[in-house]
Amino acid sequence: MTDGKLVRDRIPDLIRDSGCHPVVYVAHLEEYRGRLRDKLLEETAEFLEAAPADAPGELADILEVVYALATDLGLTRADLESLRARKAAERGGFAERIVWAGNA
């Protein structure tokens, strides 16, 4: 991959509005897929390092990347939510804070 990083769609316009001239290009599909995965790692790291007050915004950034990844896989947000709900119904969620410590 070349230098640079994947940014939200409106970022170039916001940069232009500030008087600067961003250098951007549209990634081909394979590059886009790789950059989405890189972005997921980046946003996850930012969430893990965030102060409590900033964590919700970082979590929203992760969700935006997850939605883009789902779309790339041919899933809608509704498809993804349905899959999540089905897995939660079968295996549960994480609300009960259960930690598996191995087998006895």
Number of structural domains found in the chain? 1
pLDDT digits (tens, 9 = 90+) for 13-26: 999 999 999 999 99
User: What's 37's DSSP letter?
Assistant: H
Parent domain of 80: 11-89
The mean pLDDT of 78-86, rounded to a whole number, is 97
Q: Is 104 contained in some domain?
A: no
Q: Is 79 contained in some domain?
A: yes
Q: Is 94 contained in some domain?
A: no
d(CA 76, CA 39): 20
Q: Is 68 contained in some domain?
A: yes
Mean of per-residue pLDDT scores for the chain: 96
Q: Is 38 contained in some domain?
A: yes
